[in-house]
Amino acid sequence: MGDVRAVNEKKLHGRSGFGISNSSKFTWQAEGTISYKLSQLFTLIFGYRLLSFDTVKSSGSEKKGTDLLQHGPVIGIGVNF
């Protein structure tokens, strides 16, 4: 087995968008990750992600839809080729 070495590769990723018709009115997400190169082939990825979307129509007592914010850890394995 080879040595496991950390790669100073930090990523900050963000997106936003607007919905059309019955889709979300406004959507955004942000994600921060740190990658560790395990070998020439595999990379281990750790991070945190926030995702928000809003489908609320009208306001007050007539308010219908969803206003949601999800967030949590991200863990992944990358394959380099």
Of 81, 2, 74, which Cα lies nearest the Cα of 38?
2
pLDDT at 10: 63
Compute the Cα dihedral for 17, 18, 23, 26 and give only its sign.
positive
CA distance linking residue 2 with residue 21, whole number of Å: 53
Compute the Cα dihedral for 59, 60, 62, 66 and give only its sign.
positive
pLDDT at 9: 60
8: helix, strand or coil: coil
The ranges of the chain with pLDDT < 50 are: 1
| Domain ranges within the chain, ordered by starting residue | 9-79
pTM tops 0.75, yes or no: no
pLDDT at 59: 66
pLDDT at 8: 59
